Every structure is written in structure tokens, then in C-alpha cells.
Amino acid sequence: MNHRSTAVIPPRTCKQLFYTFLAILFTCSLGAQDMEVRGTVVSSESGDPLIGVTVMKLSTNTGTITDLDGGFVLSARNGDVLQFSYTGMQTREVTVSGPTLAIQLDEQAQNLEQVVVIGYGEVKKKEVTGSVAQVSSEELDKFVTSDVGSALQGLVAGVNVTSASGAPGEASNIQIRGITSLDGSNTPLFVVDGIPQDGDPRLSPNEIETVDILKDAASAAIYGTRGAAGVILITTKTGKSGKMQINFNQSYGINSITSGTPLMNTAEQLYYQQTVFENVAGSFDLPITRIPQWFGNDNDLRDFVQVEDAVTQNYAFDVSGGNKEVSYSFVGGYFTQEGNLINSKFDRYNARTTTRYKKNKLSVTGSLAFSAEATDETNGNLLLYGIRYRPYQPLFDVSDQVIEITPGPEETSLNNLATVLRNERDRDRDRVNGSLNIGYDLAKGLRLTTNLGGSVTNTRGKRFTPAYSTFDLTTGELETDPTKSFIENTSSRAYTFLWDAGLDYTKKMGDHRIKALARFSVDERNYEYFEAGRQGVANNNISVLNIGTINPYANSGEGGNQTYKIKTIGTIGRLQYDYKGRYLISASVRRDGSSKFAEENRYGVFPSVSAAWNVADEPFWKGILKKIDNFKIRASYGQTGNESFPAYRYSTVVSQDADYLFGNTLLFGATQRNYANRLVQWETSIQQNIGLDLGLGQGKFSLTADYYSTQKNGMLFPVQLPASAGALGNNAQLTLNVGDMTNTGVEVGGRFRTRLKGLRMDFGATFTRNVNEITKINGDTEIIYNTAGTSVLGDPNSKVTTIAVGHEAGAYFLYQTDGVVNDAEELAAYQELRPTAQLGDLIYKDTDGDGRITETDRVYSGSALPEFEVGFNTNLYFKGFDFNMQWYASVGHEIINGSSAYAYGFERHRDLVYQWSASNTESNIPLYRGDSKAHPNYAGTTDFWLEDGTFLRLRALTLGYELPKSLISKAGFEGIRVYISGQNLLTITDYKGYDPEIGGNNIATRGLDRGTYPISRQVLFGTQFSF
């Protein structure tokens, strides 16, 4: 018989167990109840309290932010997980174990968890497989400007930013990895909150949270036809969960021009005229000899056209807040800038509101923005016409109804200058754009997403030149020419619409993760234009269309103002895979159709693939992980198509106003105005990219380097047809797929951040080198001169920029020169090449050795494309003080100084005082024998005007101070910062013109200084308030 033993617990022990059990139940009950958790958040390095840290309870997605002392109060229970996040600090999660917490956050030298926006999605920085760069709003705010592109200069390797003009409100030219198009725009595709834009959306920098730049073709291929020039993804500001935050910034600055073309004063001008009279057959019959009172005049160009101490003001504010379901943001601003040239100014008001809603499976984000711009534009030839005005000519008031003149070149220069000074050119632009994003979780890992966006831009322009009369001082005649006064009104309307919808799928299986995307998109871009005008203004006090009396005209626009409608449809697919975040692969394909092409060439397919290996995550790397904590290798291949050329190039256009005589009767007629190429096809761009990302010293030092090679096939270019083909005028061009082009380059970006006791330091540097080459031109020719690439205003024979095989797009081809004919021996030798040569003439080189000076003697002479670019940025922070310095250098490019050529041709440049003469035979400045059209001495096609455009510029220098919180907290402020800043304070260059940054709007005009509006120096003071 089996017996079981039974343990008997003594009564006293049972009593103790009972009380213990009750204590456990009581403790669990307390743990399950909400309590008030208080704490402080400080920097682990400095011990300073951190203001505005987001404290989020992950279980409920509710939270708060820290106050002025870094403190917070939150309702939570033991076991809840709180997440602490703050810009520049590593995010930390802490489990609640009591009513008080003391949190320290470590500085985030390199954030691999940072979210980067890519096409139709976002990934962590560590997961990026292509070449993508991000710029934050904090970096943009360090440069006060109306243009986002200007703020990007020197910050991102591989992104070339040049000013098209220094005029107020002017947008910069942005090129990503070199030249993309020979005919159309090289502007990247802008995508704002997921909605592709038609051109530059002209956002105010205060609306922007981040700018992500897709540089390689594999990243940009997801946008198909419109991604060939790279993609700039702009994410606007949105609210965050927590209490309302209010920020207000303002700045006031003074602008000035610091350089210019040297001109002769009255004494020098008269000496020059005497030199020409003595050495060239002619007459010294100047008006000043007949009007003795002019001898007392000594006027300067700046008295007419420049404005000293022009003012720039900027005001911006934002309000944001929200809770776990709804967040909101409202941004507003006002920017105004006076130009340093007369009659130029820019004003802009902007506002944007964004609301986000998220609950359960549904998320909705809506944004609505409005901007109103008013631009007063000076005439583009103002500086050049000012150059022509002789110093002894009297000052005049632009409001005078009668202007005194004398016959001769002085009359022409006065009329030109008076016309442009009186000319009023204003443009008002109103833009409304909105976007709506809706997402819904259909099932675990499967999400339906749709975007809807659109914009309407209305632009109204007016040009008005009032009437005036001239009084001839020599004859006493009063004359009024009605064709010198006119009124013109223009109106345009651009509206866009985009819709896309698709599915996003994410599946994680152990260490494997797969993401898939499928989308369909439709976008439509429309533009309408109208202009009308009349000459013969009857009343200068009224600037309406009916005040004109003669020569009326009206049309719906042509060329760049052509009315159009463009439609594009696309089907997109993308598959992403990663294993343990260590091995990553992304592949995409997009099929696009564009109405810019004929039906048989309308569709294109654009694939891409990229991969990355996070080497630092490998087990074998653990031994050196403390020294090299991030090491990633990337490689990509992508193909994009380009449709960046004017609409309807595949179709002929029939226009009216072709009246003709039939017998003795004048009949209304129409005729074909342009030439079409129905076979025009996509430009195709194929790019390979290899890169690496490196992090050292626990992320204190980071380095990104890329090498890329791009092959562009079937480049589109307008070819000028010969007159023998019946082609006449500006419309005698045919768009052809003329040839092939390559871009190869190296990009390096580095950053070093550290702390030395109380001093925090942040240094950044970028290096960019791009080599462009035309490799093929279809047909028998190997060089095409750009019709618009003339170096001298008014001289159509001064074309200097080209498309030439073996050279970069826009390369200069010039006559090489070898000084001046100084004596009879040199003259005899040179007359063998140019029989009409005389003493003092410019010597042209016979580069082809055929014994003549002909077009074939023009040789490659550089271009406006730099050999490399460098940016260097410094940020220092010490006990409330902050210091920022930005440098930018562009090295190895050339400039054609067309302003100098113009000043020579119109006998105004100061160098002419030292021109060759019988008494100055050692001079290398050729003798004046006429302008660029009249004589080879000053022709615009020689290297006499070629200058080195290399420059080093101090873009920004800022010193700021944040007031102690103990002084401002009682007044309700969370932060007050004051600062003084200088922009473009110093430019080191050998260029003799106004400014070496000559962007131009396309390859034909880049690097041609033809009186370009110069960039100004600015000194400003600003304040920033946070509530």
C-alpha cells in the first residue's frame, strides 16, 4: 500500500503568506492606476535643460513637451514606456517605474534613424540605397533670401546653384549633376508634399521643414519623364502633438553694389577722343566743343541707375500644435526687397495652413497655400545703356516732359537711357495651391494611398513708357516721336492638376522585410497667355491700354509664352527588400506617356535598381565598431526620359496675320509659322552610381562620397534651318534628336561635430566635380553655334557659345589673339593674313595655318562650367552665443565680359585712355576703329573679352545671442535670439566685371556677362521670438 506524505503549514506561516499576498495585490493595484509623473530632461554633455523635448507615451500616442527648465508633467502608470525626442539628440525610451524621472539625452552626432523622403515614400537614412541628401529648415534659415535655391548654394555636393541675376525676387538656376537639356530647362523637378510641380513653385523658405534631393537616376527614375534633371522633394511644416507653439522672426537689411565696369570721367573722355582724332581719320567735332557749359559736367553711371543702401525686410511667423489625433500648422510671411538698380523691387506675402488627422486605420493630411508677389522690373539693358551715357552730358530728371539733346551718338545714348529709366515694368503674380493625402490600412501591412493636388497661378504684367519731347540745342527744334512711348498689358494663367493612387505593402518575416508599391498617376499642365499694346501715349498720368493712340497689336503668345496643354500618365511599380537592415535592394519601373510627342513615340519605360550593404552591421566589424561605427556601400543604375522642351514641336502651327494681295484686293490669310518634327523622341538618360557612407568616432565625423557616370542619348536641340530651305526668321528652327552627351563626376560631403568643454562645434564641407562632354552630333557637322549665345548686345554676329563634339555644352569657340600691331614690321607680317590691317589693330592668330583669318580659326576657349566647386560651413555655439560662417568657391570657369566689350564699342571704358597710339606704341589695347559690328578690333568673338571666372565668396557671416531664460521666462517667452549677419560680404576674384557669378538661364547664355544685374552685398539685423 502506497502512502503520500502531506506537508502541514503551521498557522503562523499561513498568516504571513496571506499578508504577503495582500501586499502584492495592493502593489499591483497601485501600478495599474495612472499617476502624475514629473521629470526633467537635460543634455548629458552640458547638463543644460532642454526646452521643447517631445515626451510621448507610446501606448496612447499622447504626450507633452518640456518647459523652459526642461521639466514635464505627464499622466502615466508604472510600466508605460515614454519616448523622449529632440532635434540634435538621440531619441530615448524609458519605462516608468515611479512618479519622478531624471532624463539625460545624448547628442546625436550622426542620426542613422533620421527619416529621409524619397519618391512616393520615406525611409530611414540607414536604409537609403541611392544618392539622397537632406537639408533642414535650420540650415535654410541661415541665409535670408526670397529664393530657396540661393539658400542651398554650397550645402549639398553635386548640386550647382548660380544666380541668374541679382534682381529682387529672381530665382536661381539649379543643376543637379550637370547639364541635362540642351534645348529646354535644366531645372530639377520640384515635388511639394508629394505633389509634382510645374517648374519652381517659388515657396518662401519659412514654409519649409526639409528639402530632400534625389541626385542619382535610380532615385529619380520613380518620377519618369520629369526626373531627368534630378528631383527636389520639399516637405512643408506641419504641427506636432503637444501645446501650441508660436515663433516669430524678423530681419532688416541694407544692400549695396561693390563693383562695376570702370568708365572714363570727362577729362579722360576728352583725352581719349583726342587720341582717336590724332590716330584715326575722323573729326573732333564733339557737342561739348559747341556747348561750353558741358565742360563743367562730370557725371557717373551710378548717378542714373544705381540705388545705394537698398532695404530688405523679412517677417515670418508660424503657429503649430495638436493632440494624438489632430495636428495643425499655420505659416505666414512678408518679404520685401528694394533693388540696387532703379525701378526694381520685390514684395511677397505668403501663407500656408496644414492639418493632419490620424485615427485607427485612417490618416488624412490637407494643405492649402497662397502667395501674392509684386515685382517691379528694371529694363534688362539698363546697365549697358547707362554705360553709353557720356560723363559731360547733363543730368536730367526722368519726369521732365522735354529733354535737351544734341545730334550724334550722345543723342542716341540719351534717348536709350531716358527710355529705360522712364520705363515702368511691373508684374503681379498670385498663386494658390493645395494638396490632399489620404491613407487607409486595408489589412495588416497593406495600405491604400491617394494624392490629389493642384495649383492656379495668375500673372498680370504691364509695361509703360511715358511720352516725352526732345529739344535740339543746336537747331532749336522741338520734336515728339510717338513710337518712343507705349503701353502694354500681359496676362497669363497656369493651372495644374495631379492625381495618383496606389497600394503600399509591407511584410516582415523574421529578419527579412519586403516593401512593394504600385501606383497610377495622371497630371495635366495648362498655360494661357495674352498680350496687347499700343504706341503713342496721349497722357502720361494714365497708364491704361486705351491711352495709346497708334500701332495697336494683340496676340495670344508665341515662343516661351505659347499657350499649351500637356498631359502625362504614368504607371509605377517598386519593390524593396532588406535583410536585417544589412543588405538592401530596391528596384522600380515606370511607364510614362506624354502628349509632347506624336502618338507613335508617346510612351517610354524607365527602370532602375539600387543596392546597399551596411558593412558596419556585419559580425566581423564588431572589433572596429567603436572607431568606425557606420560604413555603407551603395550602387545604383537608373534610366530616365526627358520631355523638358516646348510643347507641340512634333506638330506644325498655322497662324493668322498673313494678309496677302489677290489682284488689287488685300485678303486676310494664314500661314505655317514653324517647322515640325513628328519623329522627335524621348531624350534618354542612363546613370550608374557608386557611393559610400562613413561614420567615425561614434558619429562625430561623417563622410559621404559618390562617383557617377551619365550617358544622355538623343539630346533634343533646335537646329537653325537654312534660308535656302524656305526657312526665315526666328521660327526657322527644327527640334531634332541631335546627338549624345555624358556627365561624369565626383561628390564628397563631410561633417565633423564635437564639443570642447562649453564650446560646441559643427563643421561641414562639400566638394563637387562634374565633367560634361558632347560625344556625338548627328549629321555631318561637329559644331553648332547657339543663336542666343551672343556676347555683345545688338550684335547678332557675336555668337560664342556652342554645341561641339568633344567639349562641354556651351563651350566657347573664339578667335585667339596675340596683342596689338605695334610697329611697321609687325604690320607688314600681319597684313599677309589680313591685308586691311593697320597700326594699333588687334592681331588674330591663324590657328589652322591656311594663311587666312577665317571662321575655322576659332578654337575651343573654355566654358562657364566650373572644374569644381567647394562649400565650407562653420557653426559654433557657446553659452548662448552662436556663430555661423559659409564659404563657397567656384573654380576653373571662364566668363565672356560682354559688358566690357560694349563699353569699348561705345567708347566709354577707362582702358581706352591707354589704347594704342603713335605715342603709346607698347600698349596692348587696340585702337578704336568702330564697335563690334564695324571693325574686328572690338569684335565679340575674340579671347580679348575672355576672363577667369574663379571666385571665393563669403556667403554668410552671422553672430547671434540667445537671451538667458531667467530674463525672459516671466514675460512668457520660451526663447529670444538677436543676431547680426552679413551676406556676400567678400568676393575674391580676378574678374573685372560686376560679379563673377553669371548663371544665365540656359547653356546658350551661361557665362555671358551682358549687363547682368549684379549680386549685392547685404548687412542685416534680426530677432527671433518663441512663445
Q: Residue type at 400?
A: D
Of the given ranges (2-16, 271-285, 861-875, 903-917), which has the lowest mean pLDDT?
2-16
Residues 92 and 206 in one domain: no
Nearest CA among 567, 496, 495, 492 for reference residue 528: 492
For residue 27, the model assigns a pLDDT of 44
Residue 203 phi, psi dihedral angles, 5° rounding: -75, 150
Sign of CA dihedral 60, 64, 69, 75: negative
- The residue out of 215, 245, 275 marking a domain boundary is 245
Across 856-868, average pLDDT = 95
- CA nearest neighbour of 606 among 176, 225, 131: 225
- Cβ atoms of 896 and 793 closer than 8 Å: no
209 and 119 in one domain?
A: yes
| Dihedral, 337, 343, 349, 350 alpha carbons, nearest 10 | -80
Domain contains 44: yes
Q: Does some domain include residue 573?
A: no
Mean pLDDT of 476-500: 92
Q: Supply the pLDDT for residue 552.
A: 93
Q: Is residue 929 part of a domain?
A: no
d(CA 992, CA 797): 24
Regarding whether 134 and 43 lie in a shared domain, the answer is no
State whether 99 and 138 are in the same domain.
no
Mean pLDDT comparison of 77-81, 163-167, 179-183, 746-750, highest-scoring range: 746-750
Q: What is the pLDDT of residues 73-127, one digit of tens each?
A: 888 888 889 999 886 677 889 999 889 999 998 776 556 667 778 888 888 888 8
What does the pLDDT average to over 179-206?
Answer: 86
pLDDT of residue 2: 43
In the chain, the amino acid numbered 794 is: G
How large is the average pLDDT for residues 430-446?
94
Mean pLDDT of the chain: 87
pLDDT band at 864 (very low <50, low <70, confident <90, very high): very high
Q: Express each pLDDT in 275-314 by its tens digit.
A: 888 888 665 566 677 777 888 889 887 777 888 899 999 9
Residue 571 to residue 520: CA distance in whole angstroms: 5
H/E stretch holding 827: helix 824-830
Q: How many CB atoms lie within 10 A of CB 748?
A: 18
Question: How confident is the model at residue 678, as a pLDDT?
Answer: 83
Average pLDDT over residues 485-514: 94
* Cell 546597399, residue located: 612
Looking at the fold, whether 131 and 203 belong to one and the same domain comes out as: yes
Q: Residue 586's pLDDT is what?
A: 95
Choose the final residue of a domain: 200, 224, 245: 245
- Per-residue pLDDT, 380: 82
Neighbour order of strands in the sheet with 859-860: 783-785, 801-804, 811-814, 859-860
**pLDDT beyond 80 at 683:** yes
Q: What is the pLDDT of residue 887?
A: 96
Q: Which residue has the higher pLDDT, 409 or 141?
A: 141
Look at residue 241 in the predicted model and tell me its pLDDT: 75
Residue type, 536: G
Q: Clarify whether residues 86 and 57 are in a common domain.
A: yes
Q: How many domains does the chain have?
A: 2
For position 5, what pLDDT does the model report?
A: 41
Same domain for 125 and 98 = no
Q: Give the confidence band of 23 by pLDDT, cuts at 50, 70, 90.
A: very low
Could you tell me the pLDDT band of residue 728, with boundaries at 50, 70 and 90? Answer: low
Residue 219 within a domain:
yes
Give the residue from 76, 105, 134 where a domain finishes.
Answer: 105
Going by C-alpha positions, the residue among 423, 426, 340 that lies closest to residue 379 is 423
Cell of 870: 567647394
Q: What string of DSSP letters covers 886-924?
A: EEEEEES-EEE-HHHHHHHHTT-BGGGGG--BTTBTT--
Over the stretch 927-982, which tens digit does the pLDDT of each residue have? 999 899 999 999 999 999 999 999 999 999 999 999 988 788 778 888 899 999 99
Residue 671 has pLDDT above 80, yes or no: no
Residue 134 and residue 116 in contact, taking contact as beta carbons nearer than 8 Å: yes
The enclosing domain of 216 has a CATH number of 2.170.130.10
Distance between CA 731 and CA 744 in Å, rounded? 34
Q: Specify if 46 maps to a domain.
A: yes
- Do 56 and 139 sit in the same domain of this protein? no
Contact 372, 429 (CB under 8 A): yes
Q: What is the pLDDT of residue 255?
A: 93
Q: Residue for cell digits 541626385?
A: 215
- Per-residue model confidence (pLDDT) at position 771: 96
Within a domain: residue 543?
no
**Average pLDDT of the residues in 124-148:** 88
Instruction: Kindly state whether residues 43 and 144 are assigned to the same domain.
Output: no
Check whether 731 has a pLDDT greater than 80.
no
Residue 825 in this model has a pLDDT that exceeds 70? yes
Cβ pair 673, 650 in contact under 8 A: no
- Is 606's pLDDT higher than 70? yes
Q: Which residues pair with 636 in a beta bridge?
A: 610, 689
Overall average pLDDT of the 861-883 stretch: 94
pLDDT for position 647: 80
- 205 found inside a domain: yes
pLDDT of 904 strictly over 50? yes
Statement: residue 15 has pLDDT above 70? no
Domain that holds residue 94: 28-105
| Confidence tier at 533 by pLDDT (50, 70, 90) | very high
**Total-model pTM:** 0.86
pLDDT band at 24 (very low <50, low <70, confident <90, very high): very low
Do the Cβ atoms of 893 and 862 come closer than 8 Å? yes
User: Is the CB of residue 452 less than 8 Å from the CB of residue 268?
Assistant: no
- Do 187 and 101 have their domain in common? no
Same domain? For 88 and 126 the reply is no
Q: What is the CATH number of the domain that holds 97?
A: 2.60.40.1120
pLDDT in tens, 26-36: 444 444 567 88
Residue 174 is which amino acid? I
Q: Are residues 89 and 153 in the same domain?
A: no
Question: Is position 161 within any domain?
Answer: yes
**725 pLDDT tier (thresholds 50, 70, 90):** low
> Who has greater pLDDT, 21 or 307?
307
Higher pLDDT, 280 or 881: 881
Each residue of 27-65: pLDDT tens digit? 444 445 678 899 999 887 667 788 778 888 887 767 788
